Amino acid sequence: MARRSSVYDLPQEVRDELNARLVQRGFGGYSELRDWLTEQGYQISRSAVHRYGVELETEYEAAMGDVRRATELARAYAQADPDDGAALTGSIARMAQESLLRILLSLRKAEASGDSDPAKMAQHMTQVSRALADLGRVTIQHSKHAADVRRQLAAEAADRAEVAASRGGVSPEGIAALRAAIMEGL
In a domain, 55, yes or no: yes
In a domain, 25, yes or no: yes
Q: What are phi and psi of 8, to 5 degrees?
A: -70, -15
Whether residue 85 lies inside any domain: the answer is: no
- Look at residue 113 and tell me if it is in a domain: no
Burial 61-80 (b: 16+ CB within 10 A, else e): eeeeeeeeebeeeeeebeee
pLDDT, tens digit (0-9, with 9 covering 90-100), for 42-69: 999 999 999 999 988 888 777 777 667 7
Q: Classify residue 115: in a domain, yes or no.
A: no
Q: What's the whole-model pTM score? A: 0.42
DSSP 115: -
Q: Domain range holding 27?
A: 1-80
Query: Is residue 40 included in any domain, yes or no?
Result: yes
In a domain, 2, yes or no: yes
Q: What are the pLDDT digits (tens) for 87-137?
A: 666 667 777 777 777 777 777 777 666 666 777 777 777 777 777 778 778
Structural domains in the chain (count): 1
**Does 119 map to a domain?**
no
